[in-house]
Amino acid sequence: MKILVIGSGGREHALLWKLAQSPRVTNLLCAPGNAGTAELAANHPVAAGDLPGLLALARSEQVDLTIVGPDDSLAAGIVDLFQKEGLRVFGPVAAAAQLESSKSFAKEFMVRHGIPTAGSATFSNPVAALAHCSTASYPLVVKADGLALGKGVVIAQSRQEAEAAIRQMMIGKIFGDAGNTVVIEEFLTGPECSLHALIDGKDYLLFPDAKDHKRALEGDHGQNTGGMGTISPSRVVDPPMQERLKQEVMEPFVKGLAADNLPFQGMLFPGLMMTPCGPKVLEFNCRFGDPETQSLMRRLKSDLIDLIEATIDGKLAGSNPIWDERAAVCIVLASGGYPGPIEKGKVITGIEKASADPDVVVFHAGTILNDGQVVTSGGRVLGVTALGYTLEEARRKAYAAADKIEFEGKQLRRDIGA
Ligand code: AMP
Ligand code: GLY
């Protein structure tokens, strides 16, 4: 099979790394990819948002299957376009991807189908949203309705902070149209975890749980980022809790799709908080997580392409993939200043030395090749991923490898999985 993966992050490198191990895969392509994907696939310089360009690429290369990484390509309707043109593609259509691209749509879905989530109110009028702040209790969470690169959530400690967030989103348009509507919701507390489940429209296949570390700084301080590191398993979900998540989140989700006539074929990744009142869904993502995928692909022993095809063909029932019992840890190495402005073009050394341990794989994210040298080209640069018989062993190996890699301004959190 000839497979095209769309995207350029660590998630896409990890998917390609796994696909490359399949005896069923003959050719791999990536658009646009990074310096790491170039080692496994032919990179094509077509942006993930260039839908006509991607369609032309899939056609001219006679690709058998396209796997979509990023949320915005899904929200823009890449799956609808490919399906209309008779091309095989993995991911939900835009109508279903609204579960990620519109927080108010997701909230209504959850309320309608009894999926536990934070109490909330949705506003499209800034005057009404501001008025809501005068009677609310604090902290309060203000969320831009649309996609905002993971930055559209503000935890407001006071009325002033909530009002400022509403003004910035709804009037100042800091996230463009994504902030035309805001969802204001109750502040929850508890450990977070990431679920992943393939959904074929009627059945689901739950992956092992994982945990992201979203804040930029150790001790969960600093700004929210795309994710600074993951562990799998999360240590938050024991077998009884996993059963509960199936009953309270996954079953009503799949039933809700049928009730609403919403066709969903792809990966569902609910972000959860384990509150004192039980698990609650913070958000739905309609794609693989980044950097959750880096840890999960290290643990998947079965062929990924079989699972992806079963999802597209509505044949997930009976799929029973094998997972490595070992723990996985992914440490993100980011550019100095991330998630704020960063400098690009810093030469990266030590990747080979870091990869010498057979339990370590270094996934690329914001990297490009420049005159034969790997240089930085984005906020999150690399995901150093290790397996270990215990979480501690995986951490030790991942940090030992991460310390062998150097580039100017390199930043990482030392407490991933601590
Ligand atoms: P989201 O993009 O909705 O997952 O939100 C990003 C992060 O904001 C989450 O990972 C949480 O850490 C935090 N967050 C979101 N919603 C809430 C909430 N209702 N209560 C407390 N923290 C939240
Ligand atoms: N790691 C969080 C995300 O992919 O949205």
Q: What is the amino acid identity at position 401?
A: A
Phi, psi values for residue 125, rounded to 5° = -115, 120
For residue 216, the model assigns a pLDDT of: 95
Model confidence over 328-381: pLDDT tens digits? 999 999 999 999 999 999 999 999 999 999 999 999 999 999 999 999 999 999
The ligand placed nearest to the CA atom of residue 151 is 1
Phi, psi values for residue 322, rounded to 5° = -100, 135
For residue 211, is it within any domain?
yes
Alpha carbon separation from 170 to 76, 152, 197, 385 (Å, rounded)? 22, 12, 33, 39
For residue 309, is it within any domain?
yes
Q: Of the candidates 132, 160, 186, which is a domain's last residue?
A: 186
Cα within 13 Å of Cα(400), Cβ side: 16
Model confidence over 20-34: pLDDT tens digits? 999 999 999 999 999
Find all residues with CB under 8 Å of 138, minimum gap 6, and list them.
Answer: 156, 157, 158, 159, 162, 187
Model confidence over 131-147: pLDDT tens digits? 999 999 999 999 999 99
Q: How far is residue 221's CA from residue 284's CA, in Å, rounded to a whole number?
A: 24
Find all residues with CB under 8 Å of 329, minimum gap 6, and list them.
Answer: 229, 230, 231, 295, 385, 386, 388, 391, 394, 395, 397, 398, 416, 417
Same domain assignment for residues 62 and 177: no
Same domain assignment for residues 286 and 388: no
pLDDT at 149 over 90: no
Helix (H, G, I), strand (E, B) or coil at 391: helix
Residue 155 sits in a domain whose CATH number is 3.30.1490.20
Select from 285, 286, 296 the residue to mutate for testing ligand 2; criterion: most ligand atoms less than 8 Å from CB.
Answer: 285
Q: Does the CB atom of residue 145 touch ligand 1 within 6 A?
A: no
Same domain assignment for residues 16 and 55: yes
pLDDT band at 199 (very low <50, low <70, confident <90, very high): very high
Q: How far is residue 265's CA from residue 286's CA, in Å, rounded to a whole number?
A: 9
For residue 418, is it within any domain?
no
Model confidence over 284-297: pLDDT tens digits? 999 999 999 999 99
Model confidence over 150-174: pLDDT tens digits? 789 999 999 999 999 999 999 999 9
Same domain assignment for residues 217 and 314: yes
Residue length of the chain: 418
Same domain assignment for residues 177 and 206: no
For residue 310, is it within any domain?
yes
Q: Of the candidates 318, 337, 367, which is a domain's last residue?
A: 318
Residue 135 token pair: 């009677």
Per DSSP (E only), the strands in 75-214 are 89-90, 120-123, 140-144, 153-156, 182-186, 192-194, 197-199, 204-206, 211-212
Do 346 and 335 touch, CB atoms closer than 8 A? yes
For residue 224, the model assigns a pLDDT of: 87
Average pLDDT over residues 257-267: 97
Same domain assignment for residues 197 and 277: yes
Model confidence over 69-83: pLDDT tens digits? 999 999 999 999 999
Range of the domain at 250: 192-318
How many domains would you assign to the chain?
4
Q: Does the CB atom of residue 163 touch ligand 2 within 6 A?
A: no
Same domain assignment for residues 213 and 307: yes
Q: Can you name the residues that pair with 29 across neighbouring β-strands?
A: 4, 42
Q: Does the CB atom of residue 305 touch ligand 1 within 6 A?
A: no
Nearest C-alpha to atom 2 of ligand 1 is from which residue? 150
